[in-house]
Amino acid sequence: MKNRIRTLIAAASLALLAGCASTGENTEETAQDATAQQGVAGQPGQEAYSYPYGQAPSGYDTYDTSGGGLAAAGGPAGGRAGQAVSADRIVYFEYDSAEIRPDSQGIIEANARALNGNRRTVTQLEGHTDERGSREYNVALGERRANSVRQAMIAMGVSPQQIRIVSYGEERPAAAGQDEQSYALNRRVEIIY
């Protein structure tokens, strides 16, 4: 039920967005209506000059990328719409670290066994960080975490062809709080397949 309400609201918001996109007439007029400016010249203490108003943005078309966007969507996680991943497919990390913790070995092993059991299964390892620090550096850190899990899985016999990696950095937190408990839940690699 909760999901349904969410979908309805999302649909309503998209409809409204479409409405917003079409209210771009104002800005389009701006573009067509090139404006000139004249200084009042000739008297002392005055300035005379002109400049174009070309800087006014115009015609903001907006794009909805929810349909998969420009590139082919695909990928093993293509259909996942942000549902929570079960705890046995999440590997957690210490702050500023991409080292596999001893308590994560079991989770990685269980998933490696599943992947070894079916060579056609492809997993996507999604790296995440907490929100602290630079966003792009966090993308790199999230990838490093995903690579740690990848290396561990390969060491357990999983074929590199079965593993894909994407890092979202801090962009998709699992917990919204700004406290150590939430941060710990966000420093993770999700094993999606």
Residues 18-47 binding other proteins (CB under 8 A) are: 19-21, 23, 26-27, 29-31, 33, 35-40, 43, 45-47
The token pair at 26 is 């104002």
β-strand partners of 56: none
CA angle 171, 172, 174 (to 5 degrees): 140
Nearer Cβ to other proteins (10/110): 10
Alpha-helix runs per DSSP H in 118-188: 135-155, 180-186
Nearer Cβ to other proteins (116/147): 147
Residue 11, interface with other proteins (CB under 8 A)?
Answer: no
Interface of this chain with other proteins, residues 73 to 132, rule: CB under 8 A:
73-75, 77-78, 82, 131-132
Nearer Cβ to other proteins (114/131): 131
Q: According to CB under 8 A, which one of 1, 4, 11, 64 is a site residue for other proteins?
A: 64
Interface pattern 142-181 for other proteins (x via CB under 8 A): -xx--x-----------------xxxxx-xx-----x---
Sign of the CA dihedral running 55, 60, 64, 68: negative
The token pair at 1 is 């039920």
Edge-first strand listing for the sheet containing 90-92: 90-92, 188-192, 123-128, 163-169
Closest distance of CB 87 from other proteins, Å: 21
